[in-house]
Structure 1
Amino acid sequence: MPNRSIPPSRPADTKTRLLDAAEAQYIDSGYEAMSLRQITARANANLAAVNYHFGGKDALIHAMLTRRLDGLNANRLALLERFQSIHGAHLTCEHVLGAMFIPALQQSRCPEKSGPALLRLLGRAYTDPSPFIRGFLRSMYTDVAERFFAAFQTVLPHLPREELGWRLHFCIGSLSGILAGADTNSLIDDFTQGQRLNDPQLIGRLALIMVAALKAPPAAIKAPCPFQSMFAECEAAPGETLESDTAAQHALA
């Protein structure tokens, strides 16, 4: 029988395998815990291939993230501009949230664009504490963040800039943590007891929580924080709270 040797991989095949392996390893481990040896083993490639195609780990991760995020963010901005053009002064908080999340959900349904792994990739990227990842996101997507922040300011004019920043940070950070650490489809099945939500319903559930948090009236500047006393009680010595309560009762008697 003729010797049917396996043809050597083309450079493009090796490059794509490395990108796919880096994405899977990053989702599993995060930037600091992943190594080139883990990536190359997963890609069935060698370290020389990483240097040849990318020049090193940082450049590989940069290429892996831009491969997914560049197109996604372009679609987000295009949808935001479409909503702004259609609705003008009637643009709502829901429209801005829709522009953020609808493209991601649509892309996650497309196997050719990484499918469900995209949501976990987004969750990992936006919660990764690595200075490299934080710096990469700031340098590459500052314009996207500013455009969306400006849109939120337009639809939430009652919130000071700093307060809006904190609320967006908490909302998006909480969602990202869920996406990064769990099988989202399994979670949805658990929450809905097997009754599948279509994508508009899923975005609607998400927006219901986030819009409520974003639209809440800001706290009065001089209003006492209820958690201040809780922290004081937590740090008090075992008998201290009781003695202070007794003293207060005598003072009021």
Structure 2
Amino acid sequence: MKTGKSTAGDTKARILDATEKLFIEVGYEATSLRQVTSRAMVNLAAVNYHFGSKDIMMQAVLGRRLGPLNARRLALLDACEAHWPGHRIRCEHVMGALFVPALQMARNPAVGGPSFLRLLGRVHADTSPFIQSYLMEHCATVYKRFFDAFSRALPEQPRHELGWRLQFSLKALAGVLASDDISNLMSAFAQGRPLSDAHMLAQLTAMVMAALRVPAPGSEQRASLQSVFDLDDANETMQRAQAQGRETAAAAPIAAANAVANADADHRAEAAAAKPRQGARAARNEGTNRAAIASVPVRAREPAVTFPSNPLDDWMRMRAQT
């Protein structure tokens, strides 16, 4: 029979596990308490009892994973610096101290499990103010230690140049980790061949180390890219000119039709102005004649039709007169 204490511990663990999975899937902003309670099969009162708010709950999720991870990272970095002191340390050593603990935790279900690398990738890829603030507060010391180690391993890179390269390349790697499962990555890298963790990690970090080591672009590279910008500007200018030409061509028939219509209107106005004006009496007489003609019945205006005379009709007409 479970005690009340163990039951409460199980409930808290279920809430943390559900929150972690949701955070991996949708990020901090889209993770809601309603989703957490549904997936953990608990009520909202349990979440409020154990954590009190979404922020405190998420801090607990990150703390139980990132706390042990950062401790192992710093311990391994100390060992690497002791084994390869000063500038003897290589970029691969520092990169290994950064990622080997994460890979080992992803192999151990008790401290992370298969989804741990996806959690790590989501943490560094999430842009929400809460997550960024958490990283600055709880991981700043770890970042500084590793940045100094990278600076010793890459003395040819100025610190300001190295800083933005690290930020860019590690965030790109975090995005890859957040979007896929470690087993899928292993399969993609292995391509049917046996692949050790060291080999897989070398494949995973090769592009990052290339980005850190590559020399800064020179004048020839900048000039080549500037020529592409200039070509794009020229293409855009040409396209605008072609579009204006098409608009002008489409408007030409309309303008011609309007010109013809305006010319016809002008001609009619000129003809009306040139017609001689009638006197007032002539106009009245003309109007009267037109009215008289219009008032005559149609049959009265038609010419009479005559037929040949009939003698019997003539005799009858003469008899009536006498």
1:189 and 1:196 in contact (8 A); partners too: no
Partner of 2:171: 173
Instruction: For 1:58 and 1:232, locate their aligned partners in 2 and report how far apart those are by CA, in whole Å.
Output: 49
Instruction: For 2:119 and 2:223, locate their aligned partners in 1 and report how far apart those are by CA, in whole Å.
Output: 36
State the TM-score, normalizing by the size of structure 2.
0.69
Query: Partner letter of residue 59 of structure 1?
Result: I
Return 5+ residue gaps in structure 1 as ranges: 244-253
Partner of 2:27: 30
Q: Is 1:197 paired with 2:195?
A: yes
Partner of 2:132: 134
Q: Is 1:67 paired with 2:64?
A: yes
SS at match of 2:216: coil
CA shift at 1:238, angstroms?
A: 4.6
Q: Structure 1, residues 151-203: CA drift from partner, whole Å, max 9, x if none?
A: 11111111112210111112111111111112231233134222241111112
Q: Is 1:44 paired with 2:58?
A: no
The percentage of counterpart residues that share the same residue type is 46
Instruction: For 2:97 and 2:150, locate their aligned partners in 1 and report how far apart those are by CA, in whole Å.
Output: 11
Instruction: For 2:134 and 2:107, locate their aligned partners in 1 and report how far apart those are by CA, in whole Å.
Output: 26
CA shift at 1:31, angstroms?
A: 0.5
Partner of 2:209: 211
Could you say what the CA RMSD is over the residues aligned between the two structures, in angstroms?
2.3
State the TM-score, normalizing by the size of structure 1.
0.87
Higher relative contact order (CA 8 A, sep 6+): 1
1:108 and 1:114 in contact (8 A); partners too: yes
| Structure-to-structure mapping, 1:91-102, within 5 angstroms | 91-102=89-100
Instruction: For 2:160 and 2:114, locate their aligned partners in 1 and report how far apart those are by CA, in whole Å.
Output: 33
CA shift at 1:225, angstroms?
A: 5.0
Partner of 2:79: 82
Aligned residues: 238
Query: Partner letter of residue 82 of structure 2?
Result: S
Instruction: For 1:28 and 1:103, locate their aligned partners in 2 and report how far apart those are by CA, in whole Å.
Output: 23
Instruction: For 2:2 and 2:100, locate their aligned partners in 1 and report how far apart those are by CA, in whole Å.
Output: 43
Partner of 1:145: 143
